[in-house]
Amino acid sequence: MMQAVYVLVADSGLCVLDRKYGTAEMDPNLISGFLTALIQFGEELSSGNRVHVIDFANFDICLSLRNNIMVAAAIDKTDDGNAAMALLADINNAFVNKYSDVLEGWDGNLEPFQDFTETIDEITERGKASEKKVMVPVLDGRVSPMLVRLGQMEQATYDVASMCEGNLTPRAIADQLGVKLKEVQKSLHKLEDMDMLKWVEIGGE
């Protein structure tokens, strides 16, 4: 799901509104500071209505920029990134259209924007609109590092096994470990052969 949605004024980096849905603890001020620095670094973000994705270890940050307004969201690795980006563009358009007059001579007062949370809830379906059903690997039991020491399991397979907690796809595991997807798939097959792995469906309704 979308863990949180943030609306920022791009040139100042001020977060004027944030809407939290998930359990992840993220400081809106830290997020806004990071994204502002990103904009200043990449001038290609400064025009048009563009959407970008930033890959982090446990989640992705998607963002849309239009007319000096940035809408960003932290989404789970299992979410549909394309769906999330489309939703952010819709939120951005709705925000700019609704508050263009306010923003033109804005004095820093955040109160006029507070009722926009209802629009965010509607567009994102309270953070669930970007969810999709995916199959993720879950370790059936625990894997002891002793297996590696005894030569009964390769370190690479152990590393993959430690990531199989039911919230990461094989591709997300590969991204976090910094290895190729086919190497993760190979380790998953080994865990299946050892009857140590099961697959569960998460996301969606």
Domains detected in the chain: 2-124 (3.30.450.50), 134-202 (1.10.10.10)
Structure confidence at residue 24 (pLDDT): 78
CA 91 – CA 94 distance, rounded (Å): 5
H/E element, 63: strand 59-66
| b/e 77-93 (16+ beta carbons within 10 angstroms → b) | bbbbbebbbbbbbbbbb
Structure confidence at residue 98 (pLDDT): 95
Beta bridge partners of residue 75, listed in sequence order: 2, 60
Tokens of 97: 């259209």
Residue with tokens 């990103």: 38
Length of the chain: 205
Note down pLDDT in tens along the chain; length 205 residues.
899 999 999 888 889 999 999 887 778 878 788 877 766 665 554 444 454 777 777 788 888 888 889 899 999 888 888 788 889 988 998 999 899 999 888 888 999 999 999 999 999 999 998 887 778 899 998 999 999 999 999 999 999 999 998 878 888 788 778 899 999 999 999 999 999 999 988 766 5
Tokens of 200: 């569960």
β-pairing, 134-139 vs 197-202, is antiparallel
> H helices within the chain, ranges in order?
28-41, 81-104, 117-124, 146-149, 155-161, 170-177, 181-193
Structure confidence at residue 67 (pLDDT): 81
Please tell me the number of Cα atoms within 13 Å of 43 on its side-chain side: 0
Q: What is the pTM for the complete model shown?
A: 0.69
Structure confidence at residue 48 (pLDDT): 47
